[in-house]
Amino acid sequence: MNTTPILSARCLTRVFGNGKTQTRALRDVGLDLAPGEVGLIMGPSGSGKSTLLAALGGLMRPDSGRVRVLGQDLWGLDDAARKQFRLRHFGFIFQGHNLFPALTARQQLEMVLRWGEGVSRHEARARAEEMLELLGLGSRLSLRPGQLSGGEQQRVAIGRALVKNPALCFADEPTAALDWGHGQQVIELLRTAAHDREATVLIVAHDPRLVPYADRVFHMEDGILTESGLVPGENLEITS
């Protein structure tokens, strides 16, 4: 594995509110991730996990600090350039599915490839179908979000993030809406994307069953990030 960081964050701070209602979501957070690594951030609700993911992914500007990705100062880019950088290099999996109601499952993925990478219609369709098959949605290709269950919609959203083979994938509770069978399938896909394609995957989650699939485990509380003493895959009982 290449140990040169693909993502490096230093001294990230983010404050919400003023005076007595002020909340420090990030407190001088630093983080390095290498290509091919799966990082897992765990911690209680409100600890700053999702805020950190948004800052690292170029979605929410920190009050101070720096994020470098692929050698680029992410927050030094103007809005248009940062949007293009995200489109080219990042994949996002959100708790909300954010699917287009009028598009079929296959079209959701095809759109990313046609607009984001400029691939041909034929290649976009083939790659979209291959990804949806991997996610167990081969028989649901032509259905729109309103015809899919919540778990199926989440798997489409995951496929949309992975189909373009991003350099970095940011996942906020990617398995929360899934039963463990499908959740395990998804986390294995994310791990494969990291280890086989040297993508970097950063996951925010509460589910301890994901720990064995991570290369590094972090804990976040009160805006402070620390690397956990948990050893992935050891001293952890996995239940289905």
The predicted pLDDT at position 239 comes to 39
Residue 110 corresponds to which tokens in the numbers above? 């095809």
- Cα-based distances in Å from 11 to 27, 30, 32, 134: 7, 6, 12, 39
Domains identified in the chain, total number = 1
Residue 166 lies in a domain: yes
The predicted pLDDT at position 212 comes to 93
Closest CA to 59 of 155, 172, 153: 172
Residue 135 lies in a domain: yes
The predicted pLDDT at position 221 comes to 95
Rama region for 212: left / alpha / beta (φ>0; ψ in -120 to 50; rest): alpha
The predicted pLDDT at position 19 comes to 80
Distance between CA 178 and CA 31 in Å, rounded?
Answer: 29
C-beta of residue 181 within 8 angstroms of C-beta of residue 151: no
End-to-end CA distance of the chain: 31
Residue 237 lies in a domain: no
The predicted pLDDT at position 236 comes to 42
- DSSP secondary-structure letter at 33? E
Please name the residue that has the structure tokens 């034929």.
122
Residue 74 corresponds to which tokens in the numbers above? 């992410």
CATH code of the domain containing 65: 3.40.50.300
Residue 146 lies in a domain: yes
Query: pLDDT tens digits, residue range 40-51?
Result: 999 998 999 999
Distance between CA 196 and CA 125 in Å, rounded?
Answer: 23
Contacts of 103 (CB under 8 A, 6+ apart): 111, 144, 145
The predicted pLDDT at position 232 comes to 54
Residue 210 corresponds to which tokens in the numbers above? 């994901």
Q: What's the domain range around 23?
A: 7-227
The predicted pLDDT at position 95 comes to 78
Residue 233 lies in a domain: no
The predicted pLDDT at position 230 comes to 58
Query: pLDDT tens digits, residue range 4-20?
Result: 899 999 999 999 988 87
Residue 20 lies in a domain: yes
Residue 152 lies in a domain: yes
Residue 239 lies in a domain: no
pLDDT along the chain (240 residues), means of 10: 85 91 94 95 93 97 97 96 93 86 96 86 95 92 94 90 92 87 87 89 92 95 87 44
φ/ψ of residue 226, rounded to 5: -135, 150
